[in-house]
Amino acid sequence: MTMALGAFLAGADDSFFISTHDHIASSFGQLPLGSWLLTAYNMGYSIGLPMYGRVCDVYGYKRTLLVAYALFSVGCALTGLAGNIWVAITGRAVSGIGAAGMVDLISVILTDMAPPKEVAILRSYLMMVATIGATLGAPLGGILADWIGWRWSSLAQSPVGILCFAVAARRLPSVPKKGDSDERRPDLDIPGLCLLMVTIGSIMILCHTLGESEPQSRLMQISLLVVILISSLLFGLNEKYCTKHPLMPLWLFRTNGIGFVFMGQIFTTFSQFSSIVTLMGFFVRVWNHSTSMSGLFFMIVPVAAVMGSGIYGRLIGRPCGNRSGKYKKLAIGSLAGGMLSFFLMSLRWPEDPSFWELAYPFFAIFTIYGVLTTQFVGLSASIPKGMNATTTTIYYLSQQFGMMLGFTLTPAVNRKIFTYKLKQKLGTSTQARQVSVGRHPYLYSQRTCAYGLDYTKCFERRKVRLLFARAITTSCANMLLTKLSNCSKYVFPSD
């Protein structure tokens, strides 16, 4: 129960600041830096994941989980007590590092301690809790910020983290220490960690700036692209040749087709969060709903996620002849069902759908979480001996990377396309020059624009069609990756 509370807290804290980051930055007089409260958390989360894999392999999951709870509590307190925006950003980064362990290590513990037949069910419950936390975090953040203020909202999470720490320290069993002191010495691959941090940070900054078209921004984008290429190349060389204990062993990606599963997670989460970002704007600009009303629509996400994770977890555990758990057929069937849902949405949603056609996104979310559950179980059955923690952390890092791309790359590209198309419509008029030199992200955020509401609605409808086409494409790619992976066709051996 305590570990589930930690997973809920980690998920809620991530989305909590989605609704409050602008308010927090404004309170410091630094509104342009508000997005870094989100970026810092995601960067800390992404950097922490591979680090936990190595530390867990050395010290075991109990000590490592306690460190994660402590870091999360300290980060929340640091954010709540911050005297300036940079201290708050630092606190968010520390919270992200802690939250990574609070989610990742629970999956490691489940895989190590639970019987194989129960892993799918327990894993589905964990996904339910984390999803509910991520979905409720944004509305709770807005309510609590208005009620008790954002500082107390952040500080209130620290005692909960401390409670999780105390219960885990008392109830979680310890693992025996390794006898060789050299084996117990934590080789954390510091050069690899630094190169990974530079690569991920550069990718996130590049995604933030893609929506800008000023000459200075283009120069920065080219520079960031060069940094990404160089740092990723150096990271690969370091992991292969320069360290005994790599953060991401390259041979692991080739083992049993595990690398295909990681790629599938990127496609799945990118499609999911890209859809959330795009549909939020669609509801506001085309259906004329308020932001709060649009947010209520996404309350179907935890319901569909809970049902998808739970039902697929049960299906995997059901007997099938003298074997159990054919994960590939379930995963491919889920992807096919999701493609059908996206196809129907592309036909009906840009026009004037009926109320009952809300069932399309519900079923799409249901199948997405079915895919995530089945692929994790298939991955768990194919992990090489002694690589459970490392494999699980890379799995979650793949999901986090897809989520970051969905949240940052999608709105940036949408803004850029909108500005380009609007300038084409306006031609060489004064309004076109204003678009080229003005703050087009602000212009794009409004329900109306210089060309008129009809053009905005037309663009949003076209954007949604492209979104669903992209979702169908990523589902096809994920289906191919699932077929190519050599993870166990039958998850559980016969009794």
pLDDT in tens, 177-225: 444 444 455 566 788 888 988 998 888 888 877 766 666 678 888 999 9
The Cα–Cα gap between 347 and 360 comes to 11
Asked which of 16-30, 278-292, 331-345 is least confident by mean pLDDT, the reply is 278-292
| Residues 104 and 52: beta-carbon distance below 8 Å | yes
pLDDT value for 209: 77
pLDDT value of residue 351:
72
| pLDDT at res. 256 | 81
Helix, strand, or coil (residue 323):
strand
Average pLDDT over residues 296-307: 76
**CATH, domain 1-173, list 3.90.79.10, 1.20.1250.20, 3.50.50.60, 3.20.20.80:** 1.20.1250.20
CA quadruple 240, 244, 248, 250: dihedral, nearest 10: 40
Residue 194's region, left for phi above 0, alpha for psi from -120 to 50, else beta, is alpha
Tell me, yes or no, if the two domains 1-173 and 249-495 fold the same way. Answer: yes
For residues 51 and 39, what is the distance between their CA atoms, to the nearest angstrom?
A: 19
pLDDT average, residue stretch 316-322: 53
Q: What average pLDDT does the segment 287-291 reach?
A: 65
Strand spans (E) along 63-102 = none
Q: What is the DSSP letter of 282?
A: H
Domain residue spans of the chain: 1-173, 190-244, 249-495
What does the mean pLDDT of the chain come to? 76
Angle (CA) 333-338-343 rounded to 5° is 130
- Residue 12, pLDDT > 60, answer yes
Tokens standing for residue 182:
């050299």
| Residue 61 structure tokens | 């999951």
Helix or strand holding residue 286 (H, E): none
Give me the pLDDT at residue 396, please: 82
Task: Provide mean pLDDT across the span 271-298.
Answer: 70
* Minimum mean pLDDT range among 76-90, 94-108, 192-206, 319-333: 319-333
Taking the C-alpha atoms of 472, 252, 97 and 126 in order, what is their torsion angle to the nearest 10 degrees?
A: 60
- Say which CATH architecture domain 249-495 belongs to: Up-down Bundle (1.20)
102-129 confidence digits (pLDDT tens): 887 887 777 667 666 676 667 667 766 7
Identify the residue with better confidence: 270 or 488.
Answer: 270
User: Is pLDDT above 50 for 436?
Assistant: no
Q: How far apart are CA 86 and CA 28, in angstroms?
A: 10
